[in-house]
A and B are shown apart, each in its own frame.
Chain A
Amino acid sequence: MISASAFFFYLFSAILLASAAAVVTSRNPVHAVLFLILAFFNAAGLFLLAGAEFLAMILLIVYVGAVAVLFLFVVMMLDVDFVQLREGVQKYAPVGAAVGAVLFGELWAVVLGWQVSPGADSLQGSPTPANMDNTHALGQVLYTDYVYLFQVSSLILLVAMIGAIVLTHRRREGTRRQNITMQQTRSVRDTLETLQVRMGAGVQELGILRPRPRAEPAEEEPRHEHAAGDH
């Protein structure tokens, strides 16, 4: 009789492996991403069994909630012919299989010859204290003992931010942008003009079809980006 946690370990692992295989073999890339999400869920289950509660939840929030959605975006954005993309698969399959076999062989060797250093337990930098859950234990060391790495990770996030903007952001010409300061500082006199209209006089005659030209060129070119406050 296997224990409940062993049962769930094998259940989650089996689904994880199956869905990971489906990720690389499914023809439709959207299906692949959905299988990836399933794989993330099961990996979160495995983390949970290992006692890494916080990581399990982060995996759900960040990977399932955000990264997988981003993958879907990218899959849709790429707009590539997936049939064409698969043409190379046949050609490269032997190489891929060979690399996979080597890695698998190494893993096998590791599993067979696994031997933990006798002093390993005593060397642990920050073992989880008893009577404390995983998230608390992380919080105790992450911001104090590991402050340097914590700050480096903030720099990594900053670089990611700069990189995303540098590579994808561009100022579009000819689009209107809201400029709140300009909107607020505009006075009524700039836009409205009260005219005495004679009886029987047409708009053409009075020349009020459009605002009178003013000194600012911004008014003359409605497509200019500073002309935002017009409407």
Chain B
Amino acid sequence: MMNWAAASPEIFLAVAGMAILLFGVLLKKENAALCTMLVLGAFAATFVMVMQTVPQTAYSSLFVTDAFASYAKLLILAGGALTMVLSLDYNERQGIGRFEFPVLMLFSTVGMMTMASAANLMTLYMGLELMSLSIYVLAAFAREELRSAEAGLKYFVLSALASGLLLYGISLTYGFAGTMDFAKLPDAVTGVDGVSTGLMVGIAFVIAGLAFKLSAVPFHMWTPDVYEGAPTPVTAFMSTAPKVAPFVVLLRVLIGPFGHVSVQWQPIIEVVSIASMLLGSFAAIGQTNIKRLMAYSSIGHMGYALVGLAPGTESGVRGVLIYLLTYVAMSAGAFACVIAMRRQGKSVERISDLAGLAKTDLPLASLLTLFMFSMAGVPPFAGFFGKLYVFLAAVQSGLWLLAIVGILTSVVACYYYIRIIKVMFFDAPAPAFDTRSASVSFVAIASGMFTLLFVLALGPFTGAAEAAARVLFG
């Protein structure tokens, strides 16, 4: 009849989420930290379950588990767990420590895992909605703060528009092909001489809807405001796992069912990629708020990652997967440092607040330096390899323009990353930050170790990414 086991990690995670929700509400006491721990435990168990899944298609071919899906899910779970640890201390100090926070993050993760396993445009859409709906609430979680409420509302309104575009694209595709199944779409796509306008517009709208979630230019408008307004752990969350899920689903859709018409979508991806790289590097220069700077930085990073998608080759997809892996680690680490920026019980966010950090807190300053170098793409840190693989893939396919723009904008981006390092090491010291909690230090050090030592474990990670990428072309 039906193969239940296929989605057992998702089912387990969802059931655990509901159990934790009931536990939290029935316990009556303040129990945010306890619930966060339980959710982390559920994440760990799910992580193990994902590693043991076997490749199969299930639920009337709505859902697929393969090496690609598993790679994405593990990355999503890791990113979610890292940012959840960051929320532990921050939420308590900001007075927003409520048990719904980890539970919403958990449901958002279930949505992302569903996206990673999507084998049908409907599954994609449902997963996307589950992911986004939880994030709207999380962005507005500090509801007493005007900025947070504004961030939630802004994200909600714009994201709803993007969902509408995506649905429009899906329905056009369905109207054209009569199916939303990834396995059957290629037949419909190749069955016509030339490509129908309807299908082309459909693909364009699907890309637009997903590019919005990726905050790629020109759908990036929401990013700086929402990043700045949302509580910092939510910002950290938004810049890790919820970037991975739409990206992998974009890879799957464009390479799988629409792989035959890559001529049609390639220019769109190229334009979006170049625009994101340019905006990400130039607009970040004038920023004074570190969260806004990270927002522009994440726009730029999505642009670099899209460079790997543009060729539509196996090595390109491998490059993207490695890029996402390093990006999640660097991002989580950098946000751990941002969360550590507290003075007299208040969270501070200006870049000038980092002045002279090297003199007051050398470990934090060196960790942040490490992340900034890695984000800038300085070898031998992790970020360098992500960029290397995607640019290599672009060059191999003769997309010289993308590679050149990528390298030039990386140089521009270096300027603002290194400016932060300069502020930390050479400016007159500002008062010291409050002592960090162990959880924040843990995330910063763990991500730091990963970023620093990635070069040593390059083989296994590249191998995993390659195995995952091969699935799409199999």
Contact = CB atoms under 8 A, between A and B. Distances in A.
A125 B121 CA distance: 12
B196 A113 contact: yes
Interface string A98-129: 00000000100110111111111111110000
A117 B260 CA distance: 14
Interface in A160-192: 160, 162-163, 165-167
A124 B62 contact: no
Interface string A79-100: 0000000000000000000000
B192 A147 contact: no
Interface in B141-191: 141, 143, 152, 172, 175-181, 184, 187-189, 191
Interface residues of B, number: 51
B114 interface: yes
15 contacts: A114-B196, A114-B197, A116-B175, A118-B192, A120-B179, A122-B178, A124-B179, A125-B179, A146-B59, A148-B62, A153-B126, A155-B14, A155-B110, A156-B130, A163-B133
A148 to B, nearest CB: 4
A6 interface: no
A162 B63 contact: no
A133 interface: no
Contact of A149 (B21, B122, B191): B122
B396 interface: no
B201 A167 contact: no
A146 B60 CA distance: 7
A123 B126 contact: no
In order of increasing CB-CB distance, the 3 nearest A-B pairs are: A120-B178, A113-B197, A163-B137
A145 interface: yes
A117 B59 CA distance: 25
A109 B201 contact: yes
Given A120-B188, A149-B122, A160 B133 contact: yes
Grouping DSSP codes into helix (H, G, I), strand (E, B) and loop, the B interface class, with mixed when no group exceeds half, is helix
Contacts of A146: 59-60, 62, 122
A75 interface: no
Contacts of A148: 7, 58-59, 62-63, 123
B62 A158 contact: no
Given A155-B111, A158-B107, 9 more contacts: A113-B198, A117-B189, A117-B192, A121-B178, A148-B58, A152-B123, A156-B130, A159-B130, A162-B107
Interface of A: 106, 109-110, 112-125, 145-149, 151-153, 155-156, 158-160, 162-163, 165-167
A110 B172 contact: yes
A119 B178 contact: yes
Contacts of B63: 148
B176 A116 contact: yes
A212 B205 CA distance: 74
Contact of B184 (A123, A158, A166, A167): A123
A112 B14 contact: no
A117 B98 contact: no
Nearest to B192: A117
